[in-house]
Amino acid sequence: MFVIVLLILMIRSAHITDEKVIKISQLKKQENELRAEYIALRSKSMILKLETTVVEKVKEMGLHPADKPPQIIREVDPNTP
């Protein structure tokens, strides 16, 4: 009787493994697809982020890159050196 229980357990666990293998391969496929999508979108966003792309896009609005550097005004406490 005990042996039969063990046999059933063994068969069941073999089936679970098989199911997991199939699931892994499905997830792997999904992962690859998502990766492909991610890279395609990231590539697009990186090109959009380039300064020359932005400059071209805002030209019509009359905007252009600053000629002078940005000024940071930092308030310092006179008591701390």
**3-class secondary structure per residue, 2-14:** HHHHHHHHHHHHH
Q: Which of 1, 3, 4, 72 binds other proteins (CB under 8 A)?
A: 72
Using CB under 8 A as the binding rule, whether residue 81 contacts other proteins is answered as: no
The CB density around residue 54, as the number of other CB atoms within 10 Å, is: 13
DSSP structure class, residue 77: -
Q: Which of 8, 27, 36, 48 binds other proteins (CB under 8 A)?
A: 36
Closest CB 33 distance from other proteins, rounded Å: 7
Using CB under 8 A as the binding rule, whether residue 70 contacts other proteins is answered as: yes
DSSP structure class, residue 37: H
Distance spanning both ends of the chain, measured CA to CA: 86
Residues making contact with other proteins (CB under 8 A): 17-18, 21-22, 25, 32-33, 35-37, 39-43, 46-47, 50-52, 62, 65-78
